[in-house]
A = this chain, B = another copy of it.
Amino acid sequence: MARAGRRPGQTETREKILAAARHRFAELGYDGATVRGIAADAGVNAALLHHFFGSKQALFAAAMNLPVNPATVVPAILSGDRAEVGERLVRTFLGFWATPDGRTPFVAMLRAAATNDQVATMLRQFIERTVLAQVATALEVPKARVAGIAAQLIGVALLRYVIKLPPLVQASDEEIVAMLAPVAQYYLTPGDDAG
């Protein structure tokens, strides 16, 4: 059924674009796939695709069913008091996983990336071009340190939601935030160590 305010033809066009995007991202990686190529595959012009999705990264997130658009989430985390960026980052990340609907596409992507080289390439390029590049540039932190935060968060998600390690399952979200926020903040504060 078409959603309110969206004509049936639009829903069809949207689905065609998403199917073309999934195919191109998987085949060519995040870097290799172009918005123009995806539009051509879907039989629409690039302006219409832009109207529906706004940007390549938003299109990627929609194609992967991720309930989040890094183009808006990352700036929201980075704005405000720098001393609390670490905490906002951890809190926002945990929020994505808080509901089964939010969690399912992330778990699916994590599993696929762990077992399929094509998906790993696609995810690697996406993380590098969007999250790492945006955070590293905005906060003037080396990309390796932002990758350290990504590793911490993905590791917690893996152990808490996939492996279901009891101490992390039993901890509340607030306890996890209290434990991880100083780690994220450490990575965002070069000079604390040799890194």
Contact = CB atoms under 8 A, between A and B. Distances in A.
B167 A142 contact: yes
Nearest to A170: B144
Contacts of A113: 162-163
A105 interface: no
A110 B114 contact: yes
A134 to B, nearest CB: 14
Contacts of A183: 148, 152, 183, 186
Copy count, this protein chain: 2
Interface stretch (A15-23, A54-62, A94-102, A124-132): A124-132
Given A162-B113, A175-B195, A186-B186, A167 B155 contact: no
A145 to B, nearest CB: 7
9 contacts: A114-B115, A123-B163, A132-B165, A144-B171, A146-B167, A147-B168, A151-B158, A181-B193, A186-B186
Given A148-B152, A186-B186, 12 more contacts: A111-B115, A127-B165, A128-B167, A132-B165, A151-B155, A152-B183, A155-B156, A175-B195, A178-B193, A178-B195, A179-B194, A181-B193
